[in-house]
Amino acid sequence: MGIKIVPLVATATPFSTQITKQTVIARRVVSQTLTGRLVPTLSISSDDFTTTSTQPKVHKRFVHFDLASSNVSPDHDLYDPTNRYGYYDDEYTKGYYIDTVTYFIWLQAPGGTPDPTKAHPSWAIQSESPDGPNQSGSVTSSISYNTDASIGAFGPSGVGNIGAGHGFSSSHTHVTTDFLFTQHSSANLLHHKLEMKQMADGTPYVSGSTYTNYYGDLIGLPALALSNLPLPGQAVWMNIDDAGLVDTIDLHVMVKPYYMLAETGMAAPPQVNPESPTDWLRTFSIDFTTLGN
């Protein structure tokens, strides 16, 4: 039985949450559409692999999901004389801006309510990227994974060493200046997090705090807190036993953005106002019968 790689259509999916609130100190109206988008790639494959000369071949299936160009955003900066749209970014009010983004990817049996604690136990992550904490200003997400039984093995391979149709290979470098990337994944669940860690002038940032200069004005925010923040992440899953050899399975992506608004004024101390929209969720239904094996 030969290998077959099937790239599935994973069209871009926009997310949005409308928020209209009045600030506490200056009583300014903030109207934003907190946004995000999934721009992923998704591929599946399968093949029969020899374990020992005396044992029958084992059938393995693989799922590769890459967030690629996905991101979250606090809308845009747009102002007209009569109405306020988008975020504020002046010395008295800043936000809503991106404070933290947590996101999960997992495989789950079809039909159930999407729940990252119910990731399919027979589907384990074989390769994942990025795979460690990073606050260098850029994060590279890179996977090169072989799924070709003709060479006798499956697993990681050198980037660029995989022949066409013989595995998954993808690499992206994302700018994440002033944000910390951390990985909290388990055997079956991809779990990544991005947290703002410093202001535009380099002042260390702690979520829920406000930062003012000598004159009592709010310190500037980093550019990525007010623009499209990329979501680095990709992984390859494989069935680790025959219980994973199902015809269909769902791949879920859950994004949990956390926004903040900071304000100050002469008559009141600085304060922050958090906003956590409803989780953004996207489900991809996978049909392994399209592989034909």
Q: What is the pLDDT of residue 52?
A: 64
CA dist 213 → 91, 174, 219, 221, 226 (Å): 10, 31, 6, 13, 20
Q: What is the pLDDT of residue 292?
A: 78
Which residues, 6+ apart, have CB-to-CB distance to 281 below 8 Å?
114, 252, 253, 254, 255
Q: What is the pLDDT of residue 138?
A: 92
Per DSSP bridges, beta strands 138-146 and 268-275 are unpaired
Range in 10-24, 91-105, 206-220 the model is least confident about: 10-24
pLDDT, one tens digit per residue, over 140-198 is 999 988 776 554 445 554 433 333 345 788 899 999 999 999 999 999 999 999 999 99
The total domain count for the chain is: 1
Distance (Å, whole) CA 87 – CA 9: 34
The confidence band for 204, taking pLDDT boundaries of 50, 70 and 90, is very high
pLDDT, one tens digit per residue, over 232-271 is 999 999 999 999 999 999 999 999 999 999 999 876 778 8
Q: What is the pLDDT of residue 165?
A: 45
Distance (Å, whole) CA 178 – CA 134: 11
CATH number at residue 243: 2.70.240
pTM of the complete model? 0.89
Residue 214 DSSP code: T
* Biggest alpha carbon–alpha carbon distance for the chain: 81
Place of tokens 């494989």: 238
- What integer is the mean pLDDT of 270-291? 89
Q: What is the pLDDT of residue 166?
A: 59
Q: Residue 274 corresponds to which amino acid?
A: P
CA dihedral of 285, 290, 291, 293, whole degrees rounded to 10 = 110
φ, ψ for residue 226 (rounded to 5)? Answer: -120, 20
Q: What is the pLDDT of residue 160?
A: 38
Surface-to-core class of residue 233, CB atoms within 10 Å of its CB (0-12 exposed, 13-18 middle, 19+ buried): buried
pLDDT, one tens digit per residue, over 117-127 is 999 999 999 99
Q: What is the pLDDT of residue 101?
A: 96
Chain length of the chain: 293
Structural domain span for residue 20? 4-291
Of 267, 274, 221, nearest in space to 26 by CA: 267
